[in-house]
A and B are shown apart, each in its own frame.
Chain A
Amino acid sequence: MTFIRKHRLFTHLMLMAGALVMLYPLLWMVSSSFKPASIIFSEPGIIPSQLTLDNYTHGWTALGTPFSQFYLNSFTIVALVVFGNVVTCSLTAYAFARLNFRFKKVWFTLMLGTIMLPGHVTLIPTYVLFNQLGWLNSFLPLTVPSFFSTSAFFVFLMVQFIRGIPRDLDDAASVDGANSFQIYWYIILPLSTPALITTAIFSFIWEWDNFFTHLLYINSISLFTVPLGLRTFIDATGESSYGPLFAMSVLSLIPVFMFFIGAQRWLVEGISTTGFKG
């Protein structure tokens, strides 16, 4: 008995040590963002010996254009992407999960194939297309594709979810004279709320952290998103101002961290049921 108890204690100690190692860099960044520049490079501890808010006030306006503008831009893009994904992916998923139509199996296989397709293969022609449309240096290249359910991952997530809704409900409604659009609107859509929420949350987090396409398509600082602002910050200041850089980095993590605190159930279920990265 005591052996088992000791064993348990040992497991807990190992897990806690591991957790500390995992979290230490994050905690240290948060702590350093409140330290005066002079001690960031000399104080590996987490509890700051001197506290200051200067990093935050300096960092916020260090690039000329304040970070509030970058946040506004990021939130605008993210809101549009979330909306586009939720609406169009659920339409597609309903067709795949519930309706029978010609070539369904072919389309479904192709759709799943796009999940594993490296984005770089479509990158150059897509860039050329947006260039010819005159969309470079605008939010359009970043938001319009999401209105065409291009995120196969979310289509798959919703297909899986809708398949789990009892078909009896559809059948009953259909006996009462409901057509497919009514069944979608009055039955499937309300019942798939959990999948819609998961989609919204992951869309938010991934687009919030999205960097590569923002880097490609946006050039003017007034249109910069938060990741682009941070990147410019490093290039502009380099090693000299890690304090403000850390402060702005910490702020940029807050929206995702809020989801982590408030919506962990959705995150864990979303990953568990579809088995994708998070």
Chain B
Amino acid sequence: MWLFRCAYDARIPGRPRHIINNQAVVRNGKSGEKLRVETIKADIVIVGGGGAGLRAAIAAAESDTGQSIALVSKVYPMRSHTVAAEGGAAAVTQPQDDLEYHFNDTVAGGDWLCEQDVVEYFVAHAREELVQMEHWGCPWNRKEDGHVNVRAFGGMKIERTWFAADKTGFHMLHTLFQTSIKYPLIKRFDEYFCVDIVVEDGRAQGVVVIEIATGRICFIQARAVVLATGGAARVFRENTNGGIVTGDGMALAYRQGVALRDMEFMQYHPTCMPGTGLLFTEACRGEGGYLINKDGYRFLQDYGLGPPSDEPRNKFMELGPRDRVSQAIWHEKQKGRTIDHPHGQVVHLDMRHLGEKKLRERLPQIYELAEEFMGLDPAHEPIPVLPGAHYTMGGIETDGRTATSLPGLYAVGECASVGIHGANRLGSNSLVELCVFGRVAGDEASSYAKSARNSSTATLEKKADDICNRVRGLVNNANGKERIADIRNEMAKSMEEGCGIYRNAPVMQKTCDKLEELKQRYRSINIEDKSSAWNTEWLLAIELGYLLDVAQAVACSAINRKESRGSHQRLDGYEQRDDQNYLKHTLARYNSEGPPGIEYSKVKITKSEPGIRAYGEAGEKAEAERNKKKGAAHDK
């Protein structure tokens, strides 16, 4: 039965319609044949159809015309979570700006846990990638003279954030998706769900996927595999992420022995909708919005971000970096200066002074969210907000060219840790990351695939069969008592408690223990749905397995980092940054028997020695001193 794709068509009542799959799939299976994976051959397979995956696919299609690219996505590409990015994408654009400034903002913003050579490459290639997006049709906002306009963003010294209203991710994603249609070498596998990477002879040689509409399991054989599956903030309860952001690629690479790097650094975005966690972009503050407490006071001035001014000032007040702003909100709550709300303690995002016209033009999506989801008019009322889990700074460890430690396996975008975000990402750096490193990943995978050879198909199919049996077995054997939703909810609540904005060892330990317990319970989950077509309960169960592994990497990485840096802040005797012992990356290594092994690796420092990370007036002072020192060194 599951070899066919049946649909009910009301236009032909009573007659199920067999849909011929429109993709170039070679079918080996016959109806009624017992479970057997079919094999599809490509040169490169990319898992993930968001910004990074699409950019990589286009680069691969352009770099070597001969090679076929299988683009696998568990949703239609335009549904990918890149779609929800709002604020913009950063690149040095104005004459008074400099690559050096973007580099310094990024490295200091990441509390010196960035790979500086990679950041240097990143800032140098940012603008050309955004121009490329422009050539492909992205509707960037413009100045009167027709050139692209830029806006201010948190932690950035000069305005350099390109934007398309407050739907930048949406426009970039649709532009990339629509542009990808130009390339016949890109064969899409829309709504195919990746369940494992096939590793043979120490190399990644393909992936096993479920065709969601039928439940058929396929093996896509390829000589290079690129993971571009996005982040994992769904491990937290209050989060800004879509339901699909479940750390799939991270868990898959991790289980194959590739390290997850710096997973303790989880970004809390300061301005999210209470209850749902939906995002109000940082551009609200870039355009001039204030954050105020219950007394109407712009409280950020009490946390080293002042002094306040009426107009937005780069790296001051509301344009501080996300970690500092979220931490300030946490402190306001401790001081009893937040506002009671049915979904928790909130502060207000006040944009009333900006006026309806500007809000509608620059922040239409925000206006819509406030009106439709909260029933309030941001031109006349402040928006209640609180911090929510937003972005996974860490990820699959890669070098500066997106290669992982497993030959043939590449990772890019939020699922990867290429090294540009360090301990805290600056807003508007990640949309550019998708383009700059998406292109690198496409190029690198192409050139690797050109020289690599696959093992014999029979050997690979044997491996794929084992994976297939395991995955199908998950449904057939899931007759336990544990409810998927219960485990997921307990995980998310525990992660929020243990790995929130401020952390301490006893609570983190509780979270680590809880995750161990949940992983045990996961073994006796129940899947009611035993069918094949669109068995979304099966997929939820697999995703929950991914989430639990990634959550464990986050919690265990966090408890072992005995210092405070960027988004990892402790209150149990480790309140300071400790460069002596922790100016290094955490590497979490998968262990099927229990918690991951934790190791450390060096941070690449090229030209910016770790210094005081300060914003507002203190930041200006620190910068002046750094420049003085540098000048003195030059004079010598």
Co-assembled chains A and B: no
